[in-house]
Chain A
Amino acid sequence: MARMKFLCDADRCIECNACVTACKNEHEVPWGMNRRRVVTINDGKPGERSVSMACMHCTDAPCAAVCPVDCFYTTADAVVLHSKDLCIGCGYCFYACPFGAPQYPKVGNFGSRGKMDKCTFCAGGPEADGSKEEYEKYGANRLAEGKLPLCAEMCSTKSLLAGDGDVIAQIYKERVSRRGYGSGAWGWQTAYREAIAT
């Protein structure tokens, strides 16, 4: 089984937001929630870089550890998923997540934030693969259809890579050695406790 990961090559990202749009459309993510976003660092200054970020599907995921109802599970592909039936909308996963991935339908309201929603690596949820219930709660399950996440597929510069961690690390390494520079795999040290040696 593969160990699924995301990698955003910041030296290629042009902040076109195609990944964001693809994700919103594929999973019909409601208003106010973004499973993926593009953050631009040093905007307008020399050395500016943009990074497309969603759930990184961490190794030993912090969100899963702090969840008071233990509603997370990790698939055989190391994708971190959760059950919306069990989630109580406490918001703790957002405090623990190093990447700001968890989203809530009700922002900062009294009582409940509603069921948490986040990137599923296009792998759906606990319901039967490809079922209507699964689609309504978690969006499309492309992994079950043998396809990789749509955000990476739609990336206009192929900056965003999604797939088996070893394979995308290899692609990135080759890129870096061919072009002679690379600012590294953003978030990998924090998410996977490993960086890519280039």
Chain B
Amino acid sequence: MVGILAKLLMQVRFLAGALALAFLITIAAPAAAQQPSSVNPTASAVQERQLLQELNRIQGRVSIPDRKSDVLEQPAGRDWRQWHQVTLRWIGAIAILGTLALLVVFYLARGQVKLERGFSGRKIVRFSAVERFVHWLTATCFLVLAVSGLNVTFGKALLLPLLGPSAFSTWSELAKYSHNFLSFPFTIGVILIFLMWIGSNIPNRTDVEWVKRGGGIIGKDHPPAGHFNAGQKMIYWIVVLGGGASAVTGYLLLFPFYGTEISGMQLAQIVHSVVAVLFIAAMLGHIYIGTIGMEGAFEAMGEGTVDVNWAKEHHPLWLEDELTRTKETQAQAAARPAE
């Protein structure tokens, strides 16, 4: 029984082998017939155009220990150039000059927001010394970062003709170093602002009302507000999110090719510069309202105190809170018998 089975198996195997051989011969025959008289070594060669169509870049292997040099060709560099030299300049110019123009028109039309009841002469503390220090630390760094950054975007168009190549390079190198070094205190400032004021910057129902009434910017309306009104909360979030985004992308630019490659670097620059010019435009508005735009506002960050009438008109809910809190502490002090 076992013998017969083994014989059968052998026969099957032989048959299968013969079949496979026949199959191989049939497929090999036409291939041999097609063999050209001369070899075409480029039949399977990589083609530049095809590689560029697939990925818009050509990457290979290099024998030098420089990872980023294995990109043979990245035509995207030309697109980035177009972005940097044309698109970004338009966005920047429109955002910054447009905001400035709007502010001038607004100032001429509306004038300064005056204190309706005038100054009372009585002051109330609005920002502590620590708060003011953090604000001005961040603000000075921001101004230097803005000027030195815009120098990269617009400097050679605006300043180079005035200064000449050698002086402009010296200035640009200085500007670049200040941009790089002041990024650190600026980032610390943004983090401190985030922590310090997050409590009074969560949007709430008062803000809806404030926005509905246009913040009292037009006319003589004074919608109620707490420590910060909706407009100031917006500035807060622009600083926190804009500062965060410019810091992350800025550090990517500052430590190039650590974890990013060429397209990542281009993207980091694109995000950094767009965020930066919009940030600058927003801060122009902030600077306007904090200085010539509103009577009695600057001293809040200047000396740290504001006039009680100013607080009554612009931040009545905050003033109430402050007054009840001082009353409570005074009451507590009075209730505690002297020993």
Q: At the interface, is chain A mostly helix, strand, loop or mixed?
A: loop
**For residue B180, which residues in chain A have a CB less than 8 angstroms away from its CB?**
110-111
With CB as the reference atom, state the residue of chain B lying closest to A182: B42
Q: Is the CB of A112 within 8 A of B156?
A: no
CB proximity to B under 8 Å, residues A115-159 = none
- Determine whether A41 belongs to the interface, using a CB cutoff of 8 Å to chain B: yes
Q: Is the CB of A110 within 8 A of B254?
A: yes
With CB as the reference atom, state the residue of chain A lying closest to B65: A32
Number of A interface residues at 8 Å Cβ cutoff, please give it. 59
With CB as the reference atom, state the residue of chain B lying closest to A34: B64
Q: Is the CB of B77 within 8 A of A62?
A: yes
Give CA–CA (A148, B226) in the complex, Å: 75
Q: Mark B65-102, 1 if CB is under 8 A from A, else 0.
A: 01011111111111011001100000000000000000
- Determine whether A51 belongs to the interface, using a CB cutoff of 8 Å to chain B: yes
CB distance from B182 to the nearest CB of A (A): 12
Residue of A53, A69, A70 touching B72 (CB-CB under 8 A)? A53
Q: Which of B43-51, B104-112, B133-141, B190-198 contacts A (4 or more CB under 8 A)?
A: B43-51
CB distance from B187 to the nearest CB of A (A): 14
Q: Is the CB of A41 within 8 A of B255?
A: no
CB proximity to B under 8 Å, residues A168-194 = 180-184, 186-187, 189-190
With CB as the reference atom, state the residue of chain B lying closest to A68: B152
Residue of A17, A48, A70 touching B63 (CB-CB under 8 A)? A17
Q: Is the CB of A95 within 8 A of B265?
A: yes
**For residue A184, which residues in chain B have a CB less than 8 angstroms away from its CB?**
47-49
Take A88-B176, A187-B73 as given contacts and tell me if A47 and B49 are in contact as well, using a CB distance cutoff of 8 Å. Answer: no
With CB as the reference atom, state the residue of chain B lying closest to A184: B48
Take A41-B58, A98-B73 as given contacts and tell me if A47 and B46 are in contact as well, using a CB distance cutoff of 8 Å. Answer: yes
Residue of A68, A97, A187 touching B172 (CB-CB under 8 A)? A68
Number of B interface residues at 8 Å Cβ cutoff, please give it. 60
**Residue in A67, A68, A183 whose Cβ sees the most chain B Cβ within 10 Å:** A68
- Determine whether B168 belongs to the interface, using a CB cutoff of 8 Å to chain A: yes
Residue of B42, B70, B78, B165 touching A39 (CB-CB under 8 A)? B70
Q: Is the CB of B173 within 8 A of A88?
A: yes
Q: Is the CB of A92 within 8 A of B62?
A: no
Q: Is the CB of A108 within 8 A of B41?
A: no
Give CA–CA (A69, B160) in the complex, Å: 8
Q: Is the CB of B45 within 8 A of A95?
A: no
Q: Is the CB of B46 within 8 A of A95?
A: no
**For residue B49, which residues in chain A have a CB less than 8 angstroms away from its CB?**
184, 189
Give CA–CA (A110, B47) in the complex, Å: 39
Q: Is the CB of B73 within 8 A of A181?
A: no
CB distance from B150 to the nearest CB of A (A): 11
Take A49-B45, A96-B80, A96-B81 as given contacts and tell me if A69 and B62 are in contact as well, using a CB distance cutoff of 8 Å. Answer: no
CB distance from B168 to the nearest CB of A (A): 6
Residue of B51, B66, B76, B269 touching A34 (CB-CB under 8 A)? B66
Interface residues of B (CB under 8 A from A): 38, 40-49, 51, 58-64, 66, 68-78, 80-81, 84-85, 151-153, 155-156, 160, 165-166, 168-169, 172-173, 176-177, 180-181, 254-258, 262, 265-266, 269
Please provide the 9 A-B residue pairs with the shortest distance between their CB atoms, ordered closest to farther. Answer: A47-B44, A41-B60, A39-B60, A39-B72, A62-B81, A181-B42, A86-B169, A98-B77, A96-B81
Further pairs besides A10-B45, A39-B70, A62-B80: 17, Cβ < 8 Å:
A39-B58, A39-B61, A42-B46, A47-B46, A62-B77, A65-B81, A65-B85, A66-B85, A71-B169, A90-B152, A96-B84, A98-B77, A100-B68, A100-B72, A108-B258, A110-B255, A184-B47
Chosen A-B contacts, 17 in total, with CB atoms closer than 8 Å, are A10-B45, A39-B60, A39-B69, A41-B72, A43-B61, A53-B72, A66-B81, A68-B153, A86-B165, A87-B169, A90-B176, A94-B262, A95-B269, A96-B81, A98-B76, A107-B257, A111-B176
